[in-house]
Amino acid sequence: MTTVSSPLAGRAIGLAAVPDPVFSGAMVGPGTAIDPVRESTVAVSPVDGVIVSLHPHAFVVVDDEGHGVLTHLGIDTVQLNGEGFELLVSKGDTVSRGQEVVRWNPAAVEEAGKSPVCPVVALEATVEALGEVTESGEIEAGGTLFTWK
């Protein structure tokens, strides 16, 4: 079983509340979302594993069991072309849960007209594969978002 931790501090809101139909419809996979605190912050790895995909606005970590977890920093933030995002690791790096991956500023994303809401998705999973999913309430970086059975 894999425990997926929150990559950010903020408020859990669930995927259904994400302002993007690809995420809210769980087309990428099941999971939840975080409405992050607005000060400049660092997104951390939600699991121990290897960074298999890394962009300023999103990253995927695959754990030892082969589970891929996508952290997407904001909605439509790919359109910012990396502006305001600083990569702190490289693709192929082995990371530990809680290790800093990307520095960014959710308030600046919001000022640029984009949503700072961050989906955290279990890639290639079914809803049934996940244990209890946190979809409401305040959460700290490192708090449990869901388990992957």
Residues taking part in catalysis: 72
121 neighbors 28 (Cβ within 8 angstroms): yes
99 neighbors 45 (Cβ within 8 angstroms): yes
What b/e readout covers 120-148, taking b as 16+ CB neighbours within 10 angstroms?
Answer: bbbbebeeeebeebbbeeebebeeebbeb
Question: Which residues on adjacent β-strands are paired with residue 144?
Answer: 5
